[in-house]
Amino acid sequence: MFKKLAIPLAIVVLSLLVVALPTCTPKKPQAPTGEVLLTVKGNIEVSNVGDEYQFDLDMLKKEGKDVQTNDPWLESEFTYTGLPLSQLVKMVKPGDGTTTLKFVAPDDYTVEVKIADCKGTDILLAYTADGADLLPDLGGPLKLVFADSLSDIYPPESWGWMIVKVTVQ
């Protein structure tokens, strides 16, 4: 009797696997629909356009957080709003052996931040200051900012203006 049921049972199980397996594949995150402000590349496990993770402003705003800090270059206190680096790391999922995020401005100025420092700290890719969009003369549209509590680890030279690219290495 078991031999008679074995073949139909195997067909049913295989049919279920064929139907279920495509739904187990992780869905690729949505690609940007607006102007791309930031491209993350390098050793990342999650991408949304080719082997990169690209962000437009709306995507960045979905995860926005406020940090009040003294801007060492503008010599004033601002409430910056932006994407926390802890969230950026979660979104792109750095691959094994990665330790650093390298931020790049259009003039090729670079700043490196340790991935370990991104967790539980207030480091942002800011897009607003005191509620207003960051214009280029204030470091926008994306500016790498640090909470005052991190000034010993990340001095003023670590602040990055006009960030357009991040390489995960």
Residue 9 within a domain: no
Task: Tell me how far apart the alpha carbons of residues 134 and 116 are, in angstroms, rounded to a whole number.
Answer: 27
Written as six digits, the tokens of 16 are: 């279920």
Rounded to the nearest 10 degrees, how much is the dihedral formed by the CA atoms of 18, 20, 23, 25?
Answer: -70
Q: Is residue 17 domain-resident?
A: no
What are the per-10-residue average pLDDT scores of the chain (169 residues)? 55 51 69 97 98 97 95 96 97 97 97 94 96 95 97 96 98
What's the structural domain count of the chain?
A: 1
The tens digit of pLDDT for each residue in 120-150 reads 889 999 999 999 999 999 999 999 999 999 9
In a domain, 13, yes or no: no
Amino acid 130: pLDDT: 97
CATH number for position 34: 3.90.420.10
Q: Are 81 and 66 in contact (CB under 8 A)?
A: yes
Residue 2 lies in a domain: no
In a domain, 11, yes or no: no
**105 phi and psi, to 5 degrees?**
-95, 165
The per-residue pLDDT of the chain, averaged, comes to: 90
- Specify whether the CB–CB gap between 30 and 52 falls below 8 A: no
Domain that holds residue 101: 28-168
pTM beyond 0.85, yes or no:
no
For residue 164, which of 50, 89, 74, 52 has the smallest C-alpha distance?
52
In a domain, 67, yes or no: yes
pLDDT given at position 136: 94
Cα separation, 67 vs 76, in Å, equals 14
Question: Residue 43 domain-assigned?
Answer: yes
- Is there a domain that residue 52 lies in? yes
